[in-house]
């Protein structure tokens, strides 16, 4: 003989199981999202390391040697800026003068310890980096939008970086 209380408890047990299952699914989605963000950051660091290696390589090349380097970063990165603390030129973004807003943001980021900045500044935990010594050509800092290109050029005493117009 079944008791009436046992029949009423079954729907509550099913609802509870659905709620627990939903929380497990949400937690799984969050873990997958966090891993994807971490993978994008590691991909960005690999590209930055490759750029650093290319700049170091060009220090040994003959004067005038150059290479066009495409900057293909994860979608979260909008702009990358190369800053040379020894120069006082005006800021350029994709070969054009920077907006006042961008210049203001760069003033907050600039530090003699770092020479590469990514924008927006909150996209990753770390947005300021130091790579090999270079000199900016045609502006300081030289900012390039994600998907743009730069020219790495061997000079007499250094390696120069400039925006390269692909259009």
Among 34-43, 83-92, 133-142, 158-167, top mean pLDDT goes to 34-43
- Is 46 part of any domain? yes
Q: Is residue 47 part of a domain?
A: yes
Whether residue 24 is contained in a domain is answered as: no
- Is 17 domain-assigned? no
In a domain, 20, yes or no: no
Q: Taking CA 111 as the corner, what is the angle to CA 107 and CA 116, rounded to the nearest 5 degrees? A: 90
Host domain of residue 43: 33-164
How far is C-alpha 152 from the geometric centre of its chain's CA atoms? 19
CB neighbour list of residue 106: distance below 8 Å, 6 or more residues apart: 81, 83, 91, 98, 117, 141, 143
Is residue 21 in a domain? no
| 159 in a structural domain | yes
pTM of the model: 0.76
Give pLDDT tens digits for 33-70.
Answer: 999 989 988 988 998 899 888 888 888 888 888 888 88
The answer to whether residue 109 is domain-embedded is yes
Q: What is the pLDDT of residues 94-113, one digit of tens each?
A: 888 888 888 888 777 777 78
How many domains in the chain?
1
């Amino acid at each position: 003989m079944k008791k009436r209380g046992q029949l009423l408890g079954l729907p509550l047990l099913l609802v509870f199981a659905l709620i627990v299952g939903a929380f497990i699914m949400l937690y799984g989605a969050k873990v997958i999202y966090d891993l994807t963000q971490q993978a994008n950051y590691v991909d960005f660091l690999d590209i930055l390391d490759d750029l650093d290696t290319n700049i170091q390589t060009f220090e040994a090349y003959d004067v005038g040697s150059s290479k066009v380097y495409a900057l293909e970063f994860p979608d979260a990165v909008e702009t990358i800026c190369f800053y040379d603390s020894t120069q006082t030129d005006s800021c350029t973004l994709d070969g054009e003068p920077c907006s006042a807003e961008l210049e203001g943001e760069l003033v907050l980021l600039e530090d003699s310890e770092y020479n590469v900045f990514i924008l927006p500044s909150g996209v990753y935990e770390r947005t300021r980096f130091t790579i090999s010594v270079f000199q900016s050509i045609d502006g300081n800092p030289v900012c390039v939008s994600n998907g743009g290109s730069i020219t790495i050029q061997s000079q007499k005493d250094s390696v120069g970086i400039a925006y390269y117009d692909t259009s």
